[in-house]
């Protein structure tokens, strides 16, 4: 964890570089530092995944409407200031990548951050983390 999941209307793929958006969001996540200067998200655990909705109904259905929902799920323990900082940083990426498209047609963008304080089970099995912790 953290996992940032994008769910969007498939029509956005014709007009936006969704793969590039994923990379830009991941890079921004990796840039984040907390109040003591530590990296907020572990490099090996950072994931951005994007899925076009198989079916969608947006608003009244009478327009060329699109939508992108971004949900960041992270473990507990970060301060409210870090939550705000991360949200602002990710929203800035979404806007830099999609605002031009929003000027051309009606599209809704939602960014939501959820923290997982009440985990009842959290198992990890990864060969990614060691790649980034060997020489730290």
How does residue 53 score in pLDDT terms, banded at 50, 70 and 90? Answer: very high
- What percentage of the chain carries pLDDT values higher than 70? 87
Cβ neighbours of residue 28 closer than 8 Å, sequence gap 6 or more: 89, 90, 92, 93
How does residue 133 score in pLDDT terms, banded at 50, 70 and 90? Answer: confident
State yes or no: pLDDT of 97 exceeds 70: yes
User: Using alpha carbons only, what angle is made at residue 33 by residues 31 and 51, rounded to the nearest 5 degrees?
Assistant: 50
- Nearest-Å Rg of the Cα atoms of the chain is 16
CATH of the domain at 44: 3.30.429.10
**From the centroid of its chain, how far is CA 85?**
13
Cβ neighbours around 78 below 10 Å, total: 19
Query: Count of domains in the chain?
Result: 1
- Write the DSSP string, 86-112: HHHHHHHHHHHHHHHHHHHS-EEEEEE
Query: What is the average per-residue pLDDT within 68-97?
Result: 94
Q: Which domain holds residue 121?
A: 3-133
Tell me the whole-structure pTM to 2 decimals: 0.87
Q: Give me the pLDDT at residue 72, please.
A: 95
Rounded to the nearest 5 percent, the helix, strand and coil shares of the chain are 40, 25, 35
Q: Give me the pLDDT at residue 41, please.
A: 96
């Amino acid at each position: 964890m953290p996992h940032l999941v994008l769910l969007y209307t498939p029509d956005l793929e014709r007009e936006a570089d969704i793969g590039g958006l994923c990379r830009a969001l991941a890079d921004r996540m990796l840039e984040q530092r907390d109040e003591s200067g530590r990296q907020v998200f572990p490099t090996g655990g950072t994931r951005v995944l994007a899925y076009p909705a198989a079916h969608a109904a947006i608003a009244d259905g009478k327009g060329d409407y699109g939508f992108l929902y971004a949900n960041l799920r992270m473990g507990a323990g970060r301060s409210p200031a870090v939550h705000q900082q991360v949200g602002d940083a990710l929203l800035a990426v979404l806007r830099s990548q999609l605002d031009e498209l929003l000027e051309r047609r009606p599209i809704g963008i939602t960014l939501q951050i959820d923290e997982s304080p009440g985990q009842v089970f959290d198992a990890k099995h990864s060969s990614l983390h060691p790649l980034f912790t060997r020489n730290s």
